[in-house]
Structures are given as structure tokens and as C-alpha cells.
Structure 1
């Protein structure tokens, strides 16, 4: 088997961190059923501009929820807890995951002990801001602030900046993906399920490999430095006649090759032969290199430096990234059977066999409770009973 076809995931998800994780599982062929409260649903459904005439299908929500099914279930109701138990057993759920606050686990009846008593081989995943022993809520920018990312982002001497993407959310999603793969492997060997608690704060700080070691062990101050690199030069954004490029010289051989080009020959100075010499005079070096690059077009600078295999790129807009010949063929797509809207979705990190078979097409992000009848009818519940549960606020 080359996909996760046959894997069933029941996800009590909202916001970004867990929906992105399950979206990654969808790309591998897993069946993902997102479970929401029948009245409130996922708050992200109401973020961004809405689809015309339709509530709860706003643009922000559409980006990471294609390929999923959606049901509603009120776990504050006794009947809701009973239905959850039936879903776990009768759908043969492999993974249950939630990003509810840990303080809500008991009230909702979703503690790992409770659910794994119902289904012992269940893999239970809880993602929270600071771990199961802490009730503090957290959003991605708060974790960027507390986790050191904002201290490392921005111009030298300027104010801290938030990253352009939600790394604590999406980085935690990738860590969750790895932990679930390990849990599935171990279950295959032992038959036992697992209980996984993942802290977004711990996930965020785990990316600070160099900053923590250099600061704690050697007492170095590690802080924001704009577009430059603390240990290599020249590495920065440089202006051109028609835009900007980013250049990264990683060793002395690369710099020597660069200054052999006539356009940069005046930088061939003894003091710049070593990286240490360039770092010691980095402000002047970058200023002089910027003067040289500004005489050329971005395309010309890229052409010259690529000819000597030096890492360089134009600073691309999102529109240009989408058109990049290495990216454009890998974009995913999803079409709404109701409105005909065709979504273009970000590419996966790797095109799986599942995506290749489907030519990158995923089912449209589900409306709240869209799959109530198809999922609950598989438990043997008839339409009349489903109508009764809906009117009572259970589903």
C-alpha cells in the first residue's frame, strides 16, 4: 500500500493547527471526518470574505479543509457522547484528535483514557498551546512572541516582527504528522494504541536549534538581524534596476568565483578572501555590492550568479511563486459542485500516489454538517431519527 487509504481520522478541529495536520493526512489518502459543534462550528469558517450568499464558508476556511467530510455533534449532551462512542467503534476510527483546551477534555468526555477504554487500539492526539497541564489559551502570534521567533525576526535594532506564515501552527502540524506516523508504526507492531500530547509552545521552541545553543552555552546574543546572516557574508537582499534579489554566499570558493565576474571584480580584495574578513566589514561590503547589483536587472544578476552555481533568487511575489515552473504543475485543485467555484490550493511537500491518481483534485471543503446523513446513516440511524437529533441540538 502506497497511501493511507483505509485510515480513518475523527478530528474535533478548529482554527489552523489541527485542520492543517488533517489536511496533510488527506493528501496521503486518509479519510478525515471533521467534527464541529452544531451551533458554533469552527470559528475560522467566518474569517475572511464569504462565498456569496452562504454563511460559514469564508475564504480563509477554504484553504486547508479540502478533501474532508464534516459532521456536527454536541458532546455536552449525553446522546452526543453516546454517538461519539459509536462513531469510534462502528467507523473503526484509527486516530481521534482534538485541539480543544485540555480543561475541556473531561466536560466533553474526550479524555484519552475515556476514549481508549471504548477503543483500546485508538491513537489519541491532543494539541494545545502549552501542554495538557496548562489551561492558557494561545494563538500563533502569541507563540511566536513567547517562543522567541519574533525576537529573531525584523531589522537589526528595529521592533520585533511576526513571521509571514503561522509557523507555530503549521510547524506543530508537521510534528503531529510525524508523531502519528510513529504511533501507527508501533501499533502495527504491537497492536496497541497511543496517547500523544503535543504542545505548540514546545514545537515552536524546538526550531531554535542554533540560537539556544549559542546563547546558553557560549553566551552569544542572538537577535534579529534583518536580511543578513550572522555568520556568512555577503548574504542579504540587494537592489537591482527593476526589483530585488537575495544572494547567499556560503563559502570562500563561491565568493572567489563571484569576483572573477567582471561585474563584481572590484570586490576582489585581500580582506574579503575569507568569510571572517567579509563578516568584519559586512556593512561596507553589502553597501558596495548593492551599488553593483543596482546597475543590473534582476534577471541579469540571477543569470550571472547561477552561471557560477551561486545560490540566488529574485524576490518573488505570491503570484510569481504560483507561476513558477517548478510549482505550477504541483498545485492542487478543488471544485464546488454547488457553485462551480474552482479553488487553487497550495502544493503538498510531495506529490503522493493518492494525489497522482486524482491528478491533484480534492473534494471541496465541506459545509458544516454536510456529511451528517451519510456518516450517521452508516451507524444505522434513519432520516427520522436524524431529524429528531438535529431538532434536539445533538447533531
Structure 2
């Protein structure tokens, strides 16, 4: 694997499910050599999550494990523990895990002891909650417990989760950022560090302006459906043939919107003149807007508004969004060839570098697919350390 900015980095991935594997997939897509250690005999839990499956492969697993090699080990077994220990001490730049606290210590693989043996090693842990709370973390429970569901969904409906595991993804990206920062610090000091991120902490940070509003005012945040708590009009609106997303971010854009709609007088209406005015009179504003928007289609309005610099767009289904991405030439998808699932399209991570290409195209591994080459690597490490050859 070569070409990416992290092409000299070795990552030992002891994690499973989504949040931490998403971070290690990102490291692999940036060029790192990632070895994924899976539980023997069944592997990562998401290998069984489905349907859908393609030739026995879970599409969930395929989504978060590109650019990795796989070996299946029983970490309760001393010989398998030794494989992980040798890779961590003598090969890895980064070790990532999301076991329950103290699990690795019971197996003789405590992260602190690994860093003592390899002072340049960066270790990273993904937890459900910040220490000392060692409760397990699940995305749906985190979305509920962090307050996210209380501000998501219809105004008069029940609390709703986001349609993807957003707490996992947020935590995974925070973990990736922490690992990259630790790499930079290691370049200055020569020493590795430990990074820890919790799902709860990541999602709480992800509440950004809504949480900040509460902290400053003491007013509990409300649900606004598809509207924005602090901007208007910033929501979905009805057109002649469906829905349009309209995102007016400032007064100048609102004035342009009024001109495009042939309603210049709205810009001087005391109810709508400034953004705080429009937020206070949101209901009347949306009724007025939709009375005009209903006379033309979403496509017609989007074309005219975008041409004038007003943020607007269609409300697409996922198939429509993927079709748009493929047709637009944005280089957001790539085709991979999997040994059992065959050729299929996947959504790549959206980096583009001017000098390095990133490492792309290695399909998610089959369970234990790279066992022999990884054990050969361990044997080579042991020889270089003057130890006995590894025997499986």
C-alpha cells in the first residue's frame, strides 16, 4: 500500500462494530497499513448484521472496513496474545481498541505496558462514556441519552434518532483527529501518547449551537422538525411538486430571495426585516413563502435560486443522491473488487490531495484472509528480535 500521506504508518486495529473501525478505515484510506484483529471464529459482530448480505458478506461490514488486512485470534489464548503483543511492540505506530475497560489488562495487553515497551506507540481507545463510567455504549442509546433525540423529529411527534449511526461516526472522526494530532506531537517529542474518546462526549460536543444556547440562556432547546432554531427561513418548504431545502443564512440572502420570488416588499416587512424578526415570525413567513413556491416545481426554483446565490436544493432519496454523485463527476464513489462479493460500488472518504493520492481500492477483508502473511510478519519480527520463530 503506497501513495497516501500516511503510507509509512502501521495500525493495529483491535476494534469492532463502527465508531473505531471507521477511524481505522480512514487511516487506511490515507495510506496506513492496517491490520484488523478479529475475534475467532466469528469475527467482527457486523459480519452478521443483516440483511442485506452479498454472497454472504454483510453490507454493514463492507461499509467500514476497506483497506485493512484481517487475522482472527482468540485473545484469551496466550499464543494469540503474543502475536498482538509482538505487533504492538515492534511493528505498530498506532493501536486502536474499543474493549470494555480492563479487558486488555486481563489478557496481558494493557495499553500502558505496550507503550512502555514501545515508547513511540500511540494508543487510542473508544469508550461508551468518559471514565470512570464503564457502561457499554450503543449509538441509539447515546443518541437518546445525549439529548440529540429530544431535538430531532417532528415538532409534535415523538423523539427521533438520526437515520444513520451519527454518534458512532462523530466519535470515530474525533478519534481519528486525536490520533493524527498524537502523530504530530510524536514528531516533535519522539514519544507516543494515549487518546481516548467516548461516544457520549463526542455526541454532546456535536450538539454545538443548540447546547451552547441552553448553557447561556437556561432555556431548554425545543424540536423544530426540519427548521433551524436560530435561522429562518432555513428548512424544507413545499413547492408545486414536492419539497425543497431552503437555507437562508443572512439578511442579504433573504433580500435576494424576496427579489427572485417577486416579493421585494417582504424585505421591508418589520416581521421579516432581520433574521431575529424572521425567527420570531417563522410561521407567518413559511406560509407566505409556500403561497408563492407552490406555483413552480422544485427543479425550477432550485435552478433560479442557486443562480442568484440563495442556498437551495432538492430533497433527494439516497438512490437519487448516489445517482447525482456518479453523474456529477465529483469522484465520491469508487468500484472495488471483492473476492466473494464481486465488483461493487462504495462511497469513498472525501479527501483529495494535490500531491498524494491516498490508498484506495483494497476491499474489506474476508475473516482471517491475511492470516499467513501476518503470521509471517510476526515471525520476521521475532527473528529480528532474536526470539524463537512463531509456530501457529
Identify the range of structure 1 (125-134 vs 7-16) with the bigger mean alpha-carbon deviation: 125-134
Tell me which residue corresponds to 2:195.
196
User: Contact 1:75/1:108 (CA < 8 Å) preserved in 2?
Assistant: yes
Tell me which residue corresponds to 1:209.
208
Tell me which residue corresponds to 1:332.
334
Q: Distance in 2 between matches of 1:355 and 1:164?
A: 34
User: Contact 1:238/1:247 (CA < 8 Å) preserved in 2?
Assistant: yes
CA deviation vs aligned residue, 1:352-375 (integer Å, no higher than 9, x gap) = 4698476xx411210111101011
User: Contact 1:2/1:353 (CA < 8 Å) preserved in 2?
Assistant: no
Q: 2:34 aligns with which of 32, 35, 41?
A: 32
Distance 1:211 1:280, change over 3 A: closer
CA deviation vs aligned residue, 1:311-336 (integer Å, no higher than 9, x gap) = 10111121222222556533123111
Q: Distance in 2 between matches of 1:268 and 1:84?
A: 65
Tell me which residue corresponds to 2:136.
137
Identify the range of structure 1 (272-281 vs 71-80) with the bigger mean alpha-carbon deviation: 272-281
CA deviation vs aligned residue, 1:75-103 (integer Å, no higher than 9, x gap) = 2112222222222244x210011011114
1:148 aligns with 2:123: no
Tell me the C-alpha RMSD between the 2 structures: 2.4
Tell me which residue corresponds to 2:71.
71
CA deviation vs aligned residue, 1:217-240 (integer Å, no higher than 9, x gap) = 222231211111222222221112
Tell me which residue corresponds to 1:319.
319
Identify the range of structure 1 (104-113 vs 218-227) with the bigger mean alpha-carbon deviation: 104-113
Distance 1:269 1:194, change over 3 A: closer
CA deviation vs aligned residue, 1:210-266 (integer Å, no higher than 9, x gap) = 223321222223121111122222222111222210112222222222222354457
CA deviation vs aligned residue, 1:167-203 (integer Å, no higher than 9, x gap) = 2111111111111111111111111111222211111
1:8 aligns with 2:47: no
Q: Distance in 2 between matches of 1:175 and 1:33?
A: 21
Distance 1:118 1:281, change over 3 A: same
User: Contact 1:27/1:354 (CA < 8 Å) preserved in 2?
Assistant: no
Q: Distance in 1 between matches of 2:225 and 2:320?
A: 23
Shift of 1:3: 1.0
Q: Distance in 2 between matches of 1:298 and 1:59?
A: 33
Shift of 1:53: 5.4
Identify the range of structure 1 (141-150 vs 254-263) with the bigger mean alpha-carbon deviation: 254-263
Q: Secondary structure at the match of 1:102?
A: coil
Tell me which residue corresponds to 1:392.
none
Shift of 1:61: 0.7
Question: For residues 36-55 of structure 1, what are the structure 2 equivalents within 5 Å?
Answer: 36-49=38-51, 51=53, 54=56
Tell me which residue corresponds to 1:275.
275
Identify the range of structure 1 (203-212 vs 181-190) with the bigger mean alpha-carbon deviation: 203-212
Shift of 1:117: 2.7
Q: What TM-score results when the alignment is normalised by the length of structure 1? A: 0.89
Distance 1:219 1:254, change over 3 A: same
Runs of 4+ in 1 over 3 A off after TM superposition: 50-54, 262-269, 325-328, 352-358
Distance 1:368 1:14, change over 3 A: same
Tell me which residue corresponds to 1:236.
235
Distance 1:339 1:37, change over 3 A: closer
Q: Which runs of 5+ in 1 are unaligned?
A: 390-395
Q: Secondary structure at the match of 1:150?
A: helix
Q: Which runs of 5+ in 2 are unaligned?
A: 381-388
Q: Distance in 2 between matches of 1:238 and 1:283?
A: 12
Tell me which residue corresponds to 2:385.
none
Question: For residues 330-369 of structure 1, what are the structure 2 equivalents within 5 Å?
Answer: 330-336=332-338, 338-339=339-340, 341-352=342-353, 356=357, 361-369=360-368
Q: Secondary structure at the match of 1:151?
A: helix
Identify the range of structure 1 (286-295 vs 27-36) with the bigger mean alpha-carbon deviation: 286-295
User: Contact 2:52/2:58 (CA < 8 Å) preserved in 1?
Assistant: yes
Q: Distance in 1 between matches of 2:269 and 2:131?
A: 57
Tell me which residue corresponds to 1:178.
177
Q: Distance in 1 between matches of 2:148 and 2:314?
A: 25
User: Contact 1:102/1:133 (CA < 8 Å) preserved in 2?
Assistant: no
Q: What TM-score results when the alignment is normalised by the length of structure 2? A: 0.90
Tell me which residue corresponds to 2:105.
106
Q: Secondary structure at the match of 1:157?
A: coil
CA deviation vs aligned residue, 1:269-288 (integer Å, no higher than 9, x gap) = 52222323322321122022
Distance 1:50 1:227, change over 3 A: closer
Q: Distance in 2 between matches of 1:245 and 1:362?
A: 36
Q: Distance in 1 between matches of 2:218 and 2:141?
A: 26
Q: Secondary structure at the match of 2:245?
A: strand
Shift of 1:24: 0.6
